A and B are shown apart, each in its own frame.
Chain A
Amino acid sequence: MAAIEVHNLSKCYGGVRALDSVSFAVERGELFGLIGPDGAGKTTLFRLLATLLNADEGVATVDGFDIKSDYRAIRSRVGYMPGRFSLYPDLSVEENLRFFAALFGVTIEESYDLIAPIYKQIEPFRTRRAGKLSGGMKQKLALSCALIHRPSVLFLDEPTTGVDAVSRSEFWDMLAGLKKRGITILVSTPYMDEASRCDRIALCNEGHILGIDTPEGIVRGFDKKLYGIGAKNMYALLERARRADGVEDCYPFGEKHHLVADEGFDKGRFKALLSDVEGLEIVEAEPTIEDMFIKLMKR
């Protein structure tokens, strides 16, 4: 039995369909990513699976238990780290951890081996009030608290949002360590470049899942030829490239623009047409998760 199974789950707030008939399954021990922007329905999905909200339609199980009828069993088995910091700012680091341990009827000592790789980094500050911690330290404390009862499934709602590139990468290293301990992890992120750290991902947008696969599988689904183009004036290049024959789409992509070619595209003809553009460059490019996301969003 899969660790998480979701069938046609829907949730409306007033007239807004936050989650629209979503289905997927997460295997035991899998690191599964929900990749998508604000408004994709990621937080709603976590709240439903963590049994904090009831679904309007559909069914789901977590660790084999139904999210509606078996909510008590689920709550003792999952660790949930919400997007907004939700520990007690007036309690110290250690008091927060002890408090969550007590709620679940365990002790810090019993779970120390599991949380140690993360908790050790903030242990020197164990008497500091949680509200006085830096962003990265708060995040480590929140993760330690979410793990204190040795959950079988971990829900992490945008743990890396607003965090700089180096700290984000360190956080994913911690998740890789937890995965090795056999914990199933469902994690959401708006950063497309983090997708490659997951076993499988679901691309989410406006309450829908646009696609589910391994990161490599998602990229393989990009069935058009992709080029990277550059010039001295990148903004002017964008306008020109979009008007050229055989160009399905062209958008900024870091150092170069990405040009999605359709059947009618010819590299030689494109270069000839834009021969007056100063510093024109065109090279073949490998599609990324973000290219696929853009393609699926525009479809």
Chain B
Amino acid sequence: MTDIVISVRDLTKRFGDFTAVDRISFDVLRGEIFGFLGANGAGKTTAMRMLCGLSYPTSGSGTVAGYDVMREGEKIKHHIGYMSQRFSLYNDLTVWENMRLFAGIYGLTKRETEERAAELLDRLNFSSERNTLVGSLPLGWKQKLSFAIATIHRPEVVFLDEPTGGVDPVTRRQFWEMIYEAAEAGTTIFVTTHYMDEAEYCSRVSIMVDGQVRALDTPARLKQQFSAESMDEVFRTLARGAQRGE
């Protein structure tokens, strides 16, 4: 097994004359928390869609979880986890029913589903809530469950798209502790956020401006490079130079 989970070179997406993503290149290593930042309209969403197998690049090359981004979008989808902005489980299904549904979608067998569900419930200390309706759980628990279910098929990398938008400061931190824990256990995390303090929690951060990756390094080195006190300042310096709007 290689230690590079995502590797892209000169990945480009054009819509007519408009180059939404312009030759981006980077590697994401196993167990990394990789922060993917950018101003509105910088091309983050388009880039994420290509990495998740939802859209094919116009040009470039690369692999995600070992599959070719130019040809194997379907295979990529099966081998990654994805948690969208905010909560995306079914409120009127129980904890177990949600697990069974997503396990089924990812093609786990009945036995695999039972084993994996038991393991996740145990790790979350959730076993007593197996038959509770998800809608009645507190927000923090829902988020933990959402993340756990995004990993039900043991993906090599989990994409988190603004997972903490609108979430209270206590729950937001609980969520990040869970990300830390998952990364320590070897899960690779690819995450976008508008909270600049969260950029500090990442192993490495990339910042997109006008379709290109303009900066990529550890938060400490980025701050050094831009002579900035905080990631917020680094981000502002780069985003202010943006030529195109949204």
Contacts and interface: CB of A to CB of B under 8 A. Distances in A.
Interface of A: 36-40, 134-137, 161-167, 169, 190-193, 205, 234-235, 238, 251-255, 290, 293-294, 297-298
B166 A190 contact: yes
B41 interface: yes
Nearest to B237: A166
Contact of B40 (A37, A167, A205, A238): A167
Interface of B: 38-41, 139, 162, 165-171, 173, 176-177, 180-181, 184, 194-198, 200-201, 219, 230-232, 235-236, 239-240, 242, 245-246
A290 B176 CA distance: 16
B169 A165 contact: no
B245 A134 contact: yes
A166 B39 contact: yes
Given A252-B173, A254-B230, A255-B219, A163 B139 contact: no
Contact of A252 (B201, B235, B236): B201
A127 B180 CA distance: 48
B177 A38 contact: no
Contacts of A38: 139, 166-168
Nearest to B238: A166
Nearest to B168: A37
A164 B194 contact: yes
B180 A166 contact: no
B168 A134 contact: no
Contacts, number: 95
A235 B180 contact: yes
A40 B41 CA distance: 29
A255 B230 contact: yes
Contacts of A252: 173, 176-177, 197, 201
A169 B235 CA distance: 12
Contact of B196 (A39, A165, A238): A165
A163 to B, nearest CB: 6
27 contacts: A36-B168, A37-B166, A37-B171, A38-B166, A134-B41, A134-B246, A161-B165, A162-B162, A162-B165, A162-B194, A164-B40, A165-B196, A165-B232, A165-B235, A166-B39, A166-B239, A190-B166, A191-B195, A235-B180, A235-B181, A235-B184, A238-B180, A254-B230, A254-B231, A290-B169, A294-B173, A297-B169
A165 B239 CA distance: 9
Given A37-B166, A164-B39, A164-B40, A253 B197 contact: yes
B173 A164 contact: no
Given A162-B194, A164-B239, A235-B177, A254 B167 contact: no
A164 B184 CA distance: 29
A161 B139 CA distance: 19
Given A252-B176, A255-B200, 7 more contacts: A36-B168, A190-B167, A238-B177, A252-B201, A254-B196, A294-B173, A298-B170
A23 B196 CA distance: 32
Contacts of A255: 200, 219, 230-231
A254 B41 contact: no
Nearest to A38: B166
Contact of A137 (B170, B176, B177, B245): B245
A165 B230 contact: no
B194 A254 contact: no
Q: Which of B168, B197, B200, B201 counts the most chain A CB atoms within 10 A?
A: B168
A136 B171 CA distance: 28
Contacts of A205: 168
Contacts of A169: 236
A145 B201 CA distance: 40
Contacts of A165: 194, 196, 232, 235-236, 239
Closest 5 CB pairs of A and B: A134-B246, A37-B168, A254-B197, A38-B166, A235-B180
Contacts of A163: 40, 194
B1 to A, nearest CB: 23
Contacts of B231: 254-255
